[in-house]
Structure 1
Amino acid sequence: MMNTHLALLRRLRAASPLDEIPTRKALSAHLAERVDEVGAPALAEFAYLQMIAAKIWGAERTAHFARVLRDARVSPKAQNTCPWQTAERLAGSLPIEWRAPLLEQIAISKTGHAVLGRTIWSADYTKSVLAALGRWAAYCASRRQNILPTATSLHVYGCHLIRPDGGGQSTTTGTAADYLQRVTAGLSVATRGRFRSKACEFVVAEWRERSRVEGPSTKTGSQLIGASALYGFGFRLMAEANARPMRGLEAAKIFRNGLIFAVGAALPERARALTRLEFDRTLKLIDGSHIHIDLPGEALKYPEARKAQEGYDVIFENPGLAEALHAYRTDFRPIFDDGLHLFPSVHGKPGAITSAHLGRLTGDITEHEFGVRIPIHRLRDNVATEASEVLAGGAYASKTLLRHVDEAVTLRHYDHSEGLWAAREFDDFIEKRRKVTAELIL
């Protein structure tokens, strides 16, 4: 007796382009039955069936095969732990006399509403402060010193962070400065304001200045290849995915990765904001050329007290990117799941790729393509540099694109335009946001 796989394979081989394609429901039932019969080998069998079907009906009309296969392979993604629960757990591991005031700070910050005399912390910042306090408390206990710092002990701790005397992992000067700031901020809350030291504040400021003078250790000039080049690279990836003979998860992943670079160049936001993009919610396709971005304040780098009232709402024209987004939503996005996230996770469903993974992914891809790692946040540097050189407003235009309050922040951290203009001539940056730089056949 012929098994169900061979029966369907024979049917597909005998089919013509005019015959009816097996539906997603029928294919799901077939694969489930086959998995029960033979286990994991059924997945490889099904992938082969899609290849045969794509030769008959084409890649686009058989893309639903890939979704059936993905549903069988990938289980639903576990819900992420609430960050405030993580913060409460961290607070519970600190010295007992600190716990009550820190838990009060967490409770106030969770509401997101300003309270007189209290600074609202984000969940991420809260976790960072509590982790820094835990590290500081362990350091003080190991040296049997007072847990409330003096200027001298705080400075010595900063030196320890960048050159651990116990052979631990070292940090950069900038990271050490962050730790010192978080320790002093956390202690002010943990002691209900009893810890106040101008001398310690001076130490933190001195470490901040030292970090600024040294510059970011993770940034190099070789990472500046231009926003237009990265934008065009994104469209080349999308064209590659579209040209594949079969619409499987690999093709969908390549198209998604291309969109990451194209959207990242046209909308130079931080990774946290990009992972919040969702069709019909934070990203709306108005027509064939206009895109509406409406990000809530919680997705942006705003002071916590402003996040409830402010966001980022902009409509921009970019026919090439709008066309790519339409094609992605119709042909490639459904292969992942039925969700709306612009950049879905490959390893679990439903859900968006995390901001940390987005940084690693873009770094890995650019290292392979250009020979240098350019994480997604570093793409902002490329946008600022190119805009500074090409747009009439220079650094002021870059400041607007990156939504910095102070133009000096853009100049200090993102504008590295000196010498780049001499290397090659750039087209107008705004035109690059409106036109496709690589052919995309859809």
Structure 2
Amino acid sequence: MNDHLTLLRRLRAASPLDEVPTREALSCHLAARVDEVGAPAFTEFAYLQMVAAKTWGAERTAHFARVLRDARVSPKAQNTCPWQTAERLAGSLPVEWRTPLLEQIAISRKGQAVLGRTIWSADYTKAVLAALGRWAAYCVSRRQTTLPTATSLHAYGRHLVWPDADGEPTTTGTAANYLQRIMAGLGVATRGRFRSKACDFVVADWRERSRMEGTSTKTGSQLVGASSLYGFGFRLMAEANERPVRGLEAAKIFRNGLIFAVGAALPERARALTWLEFDRSLRLIDGTHIHIDLPGEALKYPEARKAQEGYDVIFENLGLAEALHAYRTDFRPLFDDGLHLFPSVHGKLGAITPAHLGRLTGDLTEREFGVRIPIHRLRDNVATEASENLIGGAYAGKTLLRHVDEAITRRHYDHSEGLKAACDFDDFIEKRRKVSAELIL
């Protein structure tokens, strides 16, 4: 009889009063079985947890799942430095552009203001360089100069929206973004020697076209209400708690529920949500209060402001605080020993990426509500419901989302107003969840 069958017989014969096999003993058993039979050992071990859970319950046998994950999943590979990626992109551009663009990368990488230079974020730098690369390739194919005229820049915009037969069309908004990035990149690449009011007018015209057409990825059907999304998150967490076996699947479901609950109570962008870490950017003060302290690097701020500014708020939310405490104690350790609030399933000690977060929330809401609502659209749901139900109306929604326009900047709203809006909204959605009310839009 092999080791697997021996342990299986032992588990089947055990009583609730017997000692549960320790994590160390289970790790040794699984390692030996993997050496002996290979990948089938993982399926065997998952079955052992199911048998053990019938005797000792899901909570006392949760460590089986961690043993299995540690054996199956390797540490997540570190992301490539975005500035190194930017340098490689710059190296593929026309020779005469490379030196000034590499200088811009070096200045932006330091993050220190330089007179006459605008600091770019790593993501924006890569976007500009990619746009310049596509523009340069287009010019070569058309046998035209890489310094645009109004006519050639407008023609390129039309090419992006209505490409050749083998091309992939973009939206008007995406084309407008490409044109703006080309002009910004050329301004640096030519050390400011290239300026064209006519080209600037073309960019502004495409921007206006985009504004008039609206975004093709946003529809009214995606506005199901923030309280509905918040409640959906708690239903997912309840589903995880009810599972007979507390394995990685249950931990993943609980994590997904928290994504919606936190995303509705803290309507930040995907990048900011992936920065949340226990004891760092997210602290559980007590049974009701949550402290969020996000650095400027995690937020959509101009690069020059990121080193000095962040988002620091303490709010009260009993239901969410209880869920976070339960998650940290019972489900989060099943992923790894890390602190990321939303860990990756595919690699240990790493957070879910912003792009994956958007796809995941879109998939889950399509299944639940019949319409895709990616994480960024949670912000629209928050703004809509806050505008219609909070005393501050549209002002409260704008404060919750920390949108900044020229009028708001002039008025210099202080943190107390933002905190009050956040607390009012948390109270509102928590009460709506308890009475199972739904917003009719």
Q: How does 1:410-425 map to 2 (within 5 A)?
A: none
Give the AA of the match of 1:205. A
> Does the Cα contact within 8 Å between 1:396 and 1:407 map onto a contact in 2?
no
Structure 2 stretches lacking a partner, 5+ long: 409-423, 436-441
Work out whether 1:87 is the aligned partner of 2:86.
Answer: yes
Query: Which shifted more, 119-128 or 152-161?
Result: 152-161
Query: Which shifted more, 258-267 or 20-29?
Result: 20-29
Q: 1:430 Cα deviation (Å)?
A: 4.0
**Aligned position for 1:248:** 247
Give the AA of the match of 2:333. P
Q: Please point out which of 433, 438, 441 is paired with 1:437.
A: 433
> Does the Cα contact within 8 Å between 1:320 and 1:436 map onto a contact in 2?
no
Give the AA of the match of 1:170. P
Q: 1:406 Cα deviation (Å)?
A: 2.2
Work out whether 1:396 is the aligned partner of 2:395.
Answer: yes
Distance 1:33 1:20 in 2: 22
Give the AA of the match of 2:242. A
Q: How does 1:176-255 map to 2 (within 5 A)?
A: 176-255=175-254
**Aligned position for 1:58:** 57
Query: Which shifted more, 235-244 or 204-213?
Result: 204-213
Q: 1:12 Cα deviation (Å)?
A: 1.1
Distance 1:17 1:408 in 2: 66
Q: 1:38 Cα deviation (Å)?
A: 0.8
> Does the Cα contact within 8 Å between 1:63 and 1:246 map onto a contact in 2?
yes
**Aligned position for 1:310:** 309
Query: Which shifted more, 165-174 or 216-225?
Result: 165-174
Between the two proteins, the alignment pairs up a number of residues equal to: 420
- Give per-residue Cα distances to partners, 1:361-413, cap 9 Å, x unaligned: 0001101111100000011000000011111211111110000112889xxxx
**Aligned position for 1:263:** 262
SS of the residue aligned with 2:433?
coil
Q: How well do the aligned residues superpose, as a CA RMSD in angstroms? A: 1.4
Structure 1 stretches lacking a partner, 5+ long: 410-427
Give the AA of the match of 2:238. A
> Does the Cα contact within 8 Å between 1:319 and 1:435 map onto a contact in 2?
no
Distance 2:349 2:434 in 1: 31
TM-score by length of 1: 0.93
**Aligned position for 1:292:** 291
**Aligned position for 1:353:** 352
Q: 1:20 Cα deviation (Å)?
A: 1.1
> Does the Cα contact within 8 Å between 1:290 and 1:322 map onto a contact in 2?
yes
**Aligned position for 2:321:** 322
Q: 1:278 Cα deviation (Å)?
A: 0.4
> Does the Cα contact within 8 Å between 1:317 and 1:434 map onto a contact in 2?
no
SS of the residue aligned with 1:206?
helix
**Aligned position for 2:416:** none
> Does the Cα contact within 8 Å between 1:87 and 1:106 map onto a contact in 2?
yes
Q: How does 1:38-57 map to 2 (within 5 A)?
A: 38-57=37-56
> Does the Cα contact within 8 Å between 2:53 and 2:245 map onto a contact in 1?
yes
Work out whether 1:386 is the aligned partner of 2:382.
Answer: no
Give the AA of the match of 1:190. A
Work out whether 1:70 is the aligned partner of 2:61.
Answer: no
Give the AA of the match of 2:210. S
Change (3 A) 1:408 1:361: farther
Runs of 4+ in 1 over 3 A off after TM superposition: 432-436
Give the AA of the match of 1:20. E
Q: 1:197 Cα deviation (Å)?
A: 1.0
> Does the Cα contact within 8 Å between 2:284 and 2:291 map onto a contact in 1?
yes
Distance 1:353 1:148 in 2: 40
TM-score by length of 2: 0.93
Q: 1:431 Cα deviation (Å)?
A: 2.3
Identity, % of aligned pairs? 85
Distance 1:278 1:435 in 2: 27
